[in-house]
């Protein structure tokens, strides 16, 4: 490993990095003048980006990235082949029964996208039928993403939704499966979700506003003009997004409205689509709930009396809060994350002291008659329900993984209470689990909080600071980072890295309170936890001082921005994917599609001076200062609707103009994709190979 203090300079033959123009943009908020020299990088016509000066700057940054990385192209090619070699070329999902058919997905050799298939339950291989051919649909496109593919109740039609530019505006189309052709029905500008009516002649979907907000549920009748589709529900509050789903029983379409902390659900019988939507309970700020249906009852998970959620029951005929009967109270050490209802049992997704647990509750006439916990062998792992389309079943599919165990699909026999392995992720180039070790350490943060860190490394890894460590974090929206397996990560582990995930506050690894302790006016706990974890890992010998590389994306990019601002000496290199770094300006702009729904997460600096001052104190873009920074790789997507392209672009421009070191700084903007980067199972690996080559450069391992 190279000297952590040695700078990482661009190759001698590289061109000078682009220098963005400065144009003063000032405004006063709560008595403070905000000056933004790079606000011009936002095209006023967004989401259409046509300003030639902006496009030229982004292209210049891409050219600079290409020039700096060109000497590493052999390494990038090697890494790409490694990554690709760990993916089974002709991989298939585990077939699942749904009615008269068994359904599965398959990658043909060399294909970037999946082929969707089915056959009769008792049919032979000769009777398999292609119901959706993604490779054919993606032909000639730079980007293709399938959002949903839903078979009608009579199994005769398939409604599917796709996005072809990364904007997350999905178009719904319908295939006639017996003929293999497409109906003329075509509905653009949707969120992509589809729920069929019981009769199969109509389906529900959600329309997007001009600002990309899912706000209106509509009902489409096959063969009719979508412009005439009936409006079933319209949300008036810009801070609430609307979504639809179907109960496991298939008796109801569920219409959900909510922000990040409050939810409200309405039910419509799938056999009576024009019925008045049945409101379960009106929205109550800070209260979330979801429902699962079985028989005459709804089973309700809610945080109304305990932040870690309780389980209640209500009759379908009278589901209001006054009729909620508690089945299990909330608990400080048991976090109830979800509930799914099958005919004779519920499956509870729980987390106990940060570890996943699946528990079955058997029910009859609304009463709980027994329970069972599905046991797994490892101490730290990730587990959840798999694909289970049917309601009346005696076997359920379960997914499992850990930092050293490839993704595994099990069938769980509910009566016998046994697990049967159906599929283990195959790694064609080979994988020896015994060559790696996973462990969990607990770090005491500066305020005394106990922060778990999951680590994986080679069995021969030396905890003497002589080997590199990569640290990953997110810490937002209550999205805990699972200790899961990654085939890509092996390219780092096999080169001597340890890989760690810091389960910092802002996620929900240790319960809903863990999430609350990292949001709004406690957001800085997230950043402090991450930095404290890094310092503790140094003390434990996992890395030398300055010998840690870091990465995070989206809201995890906020984390990266704060980390390099506040503790630049800790990091050997930083990778920020589509980073949310312009927090202040974005939260001040209520015309952006995500801003109003984000205020419960970040705070509203428009109306709340305290929130304004708090965000201003940490927002990465505002807090770039003249100091040495580590080498940084930043990515962006031109059509990204979540973290708009100008956030990473402005940040890169300001960093380059302000920092005092000679370390390389690169911005790569994907000009034909959005928040998730390139589509296709192999195309995205090129970007991972580039990231890993950058990290290896940083540690002198090239």
Angle, in degrees to the nearest 10, between helices 646-658 and 52-69: 60
CA angle 605–606–612, rounded 5-degree value: 25
Cα 186 versus chain centre, distance: 28
Question: Would you call 65 helix, strand, or coil by DSSP?
Answer: helix
138-146 long-range contacts, CB within 8 A, separation 24+: 138/112, 138/113, 138/679, 138/680, 142/672, 142/673, 143/672, 143/673, 143/674, 143/678, 143/679, 144/113, 144/679, 144/680, 145/676, 145/679, 146/113, 146/114
CA distances from residue 372 to 181, 348, 354, 369, 375 in whole angstroms, order as listed: 46, 10, 19, 11, 9
Residues 446, 471: Cα–Cα separation, whole Å: 19
Q: Is 640 a catalytic residue?
A: yes
Residues in the chain: 702
Residue 584 near residue 559 (C-beta atoms within 8 A): no
User: Whole-angstrom Cα distance, residue 495 to residue 182?
Assistant: 49
Q: How many CB atoms lie within 10 A of CB 52?
A: 7
Q: Which residues contact 31 (CB under 8 A, 6 or more apart)?
A: none
CB 592 within 8 Å of CB 660: no
Q: In terms of Cα–Cα distance, which of 669, 582, 575 is closest to 630?
A: 575
Other beta carbons less than 10 A from residue 655's beta carbon: 21
Residue with tokens 């290199």: 573
Q: Is 23 exposed, middle or buried (0-12, 13-18, 19+ CB in 10 A)?
A: exposed
CB 701 within 8 Å of CB 1: yes
Catalytic residue among 260, 293, 577, 675: 675
**Active-site option among 304, 356, 640, 686:** 640
- Asked if 618 and 523 touch (Cβ cutoff 8 Å), the reply is yes
Question: CA 554, CA 481: separation in Å to the nearest integer?
Answer: 14
Q: Where are the beta strands (DSSP E) in 31-114?
A: 32-36, 96-98, 101-106
Active site residue 554: yes
Q: Residue 617 catalytic? A: no
- Both tokens of 381, joined, read 């792992």
- Catalytic residue selected from 554, 619, 639, 679: 554
Q: Under a CB-based contact definition with an 8 Å cutoff, are residues 602 and 584 in contact?
A: no
Could you give the CA distance from residue 133 to residue 175 in angstroms, rounded to a whole number? 11
User: What are the catalytic residues?
Assistant: 554, 640, 675
């Amino acid at each position: 490993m190279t000297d952590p203090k040695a700078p990482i300079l661009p190759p001698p033959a590289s061109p000078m990095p682009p220098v963005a123009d400065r144009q003063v943009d000032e405004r006063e908020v709560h008595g403070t003048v905000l000056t933004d020299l790079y606000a011009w990088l936002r095209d006023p016509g967004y989401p259409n980006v046509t300003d030639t000066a902006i496009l030229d700057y982004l292209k210049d940054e891409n050219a600079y990235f290409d020039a700096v990385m060109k000497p590493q192209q052999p390494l990038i090619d090697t890494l790409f082949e490694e990554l690709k070699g760990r993916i089974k070329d002709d991989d298939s999902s585990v077939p699942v029964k749904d009615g008269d058919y068994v359904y599965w997905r398959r990658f043909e050799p060399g294909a970037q996208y999946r082929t969707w298939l089915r056959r009769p339950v008792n049919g032979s291989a000769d009777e398999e039928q292609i119901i959706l051919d993604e490779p054919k649909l993606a032909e000639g496109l730079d980007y293709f993403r399938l959002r949903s593919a839903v078979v009608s109740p009579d199994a005769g039609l398939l409604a599917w939704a796709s996005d072809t530019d990364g904007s997350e505006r999905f178009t719904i189309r319908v295939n006639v499966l017996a003929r293999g052709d497409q109906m003329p029905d075509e509905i653009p500008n949707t969120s992509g979700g589809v729920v069929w009516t019981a009769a199969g002649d109509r389906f529900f979907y959600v329309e997007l506003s001009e600002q990309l907000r899912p706000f209106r549920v509509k009902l489409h009748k096959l063969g009719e003009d979508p412009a005439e589709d009936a409006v079933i529900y319209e949300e008036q509050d810009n801070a609430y997004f609307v979504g639809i789903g179907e109960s496991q029983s298939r008796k109801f379409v569920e219409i959900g409205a909510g922000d990040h902390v409050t939810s409200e659900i309405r039910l419509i019988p799938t056999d009576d689509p024009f019925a008045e939507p049945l409101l379960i309970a009106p929205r109550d700020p800070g209260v979330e709930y979801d429902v699962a249906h079985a028989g005459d009852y709804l089973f309700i998970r809610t945080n109304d009396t305990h932040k870690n959620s309780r389980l209640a029951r209500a009759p379908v005929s009278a589901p209001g809060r006054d009729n909620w009967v508690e089945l299990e109270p909330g608990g400080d050490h048991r976090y109830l994350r979800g509930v799914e209802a099958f005919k004779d049992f519920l499956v509870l997704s729980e987390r106990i002291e940060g570890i996943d647990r699946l528990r079955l509750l058997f029910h009859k006439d609304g009463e709980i008659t027994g329970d069972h916990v599905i046991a797994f062998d490892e101490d730290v792992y990730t587990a959840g329900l798999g694909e289970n389309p049917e309601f009346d079943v005696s076997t359920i599919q379960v997914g499992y993984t850990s930092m050293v165990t490839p993704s595994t699909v099990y069938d769980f026999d509910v009566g016998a209470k046994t697990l049967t392995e159906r599929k283990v992720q195959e790694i064609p180039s080979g994988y020896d689990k015994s060559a790696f070790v996973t462990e969990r350490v607990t770090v005491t943060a500066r305020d005394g909080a106990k922060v778990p860190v999951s680590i994986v490394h080679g069995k021969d890894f030396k905890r003497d600071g002589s080997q590199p460590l990569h640290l990953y974090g997110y810490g937002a929206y209550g999205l805990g980072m699972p200790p899961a397996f990654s085939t890509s990560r092996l390219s780092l582990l096999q080169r001597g890295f340890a890989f760690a995930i810091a389960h910092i506050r802002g996620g929900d690894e240790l319960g809903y309170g863990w999430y609350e302790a990292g949001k709004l006016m406690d957001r800085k706990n997230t950043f402090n936890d991450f930095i404290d974890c890094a310092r503790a890992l140094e003390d434990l010998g996992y890395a030398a001082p300055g010998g840690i590389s870091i990465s995070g994306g989206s809201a995890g990019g906020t984390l990266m921005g704060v980390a390099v601002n506040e503790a630049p000496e800790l990091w050997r290199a930083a990778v920020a994917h589509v980073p949310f770094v312009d927090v202040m300006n974005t939260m001040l702009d209520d015309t952006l599609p995500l801003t109003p729904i984000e205020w419960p997460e970040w705070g509203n600096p428009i109306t709340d001076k305290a929130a304004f001052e708090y965000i201003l104190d940490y927002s990465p873009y505002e807090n770039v200062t003249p100091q040495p920074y580590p080498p940084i790789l930043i990515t962006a997507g031109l059509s990204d609707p979540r973290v708009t392209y100008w956030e990473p672009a402005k940040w890169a421009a300001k960093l380059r103009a302000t920092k005092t070191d000679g370390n390389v700084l690169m911005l790569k903007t994907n000009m034909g994709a959005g928040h998730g980067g390139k589509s296709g199972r192999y195309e995205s690996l090129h970007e991972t190979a580039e990231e890993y080559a950058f990290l290896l450069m940083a540690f002198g391992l090239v």
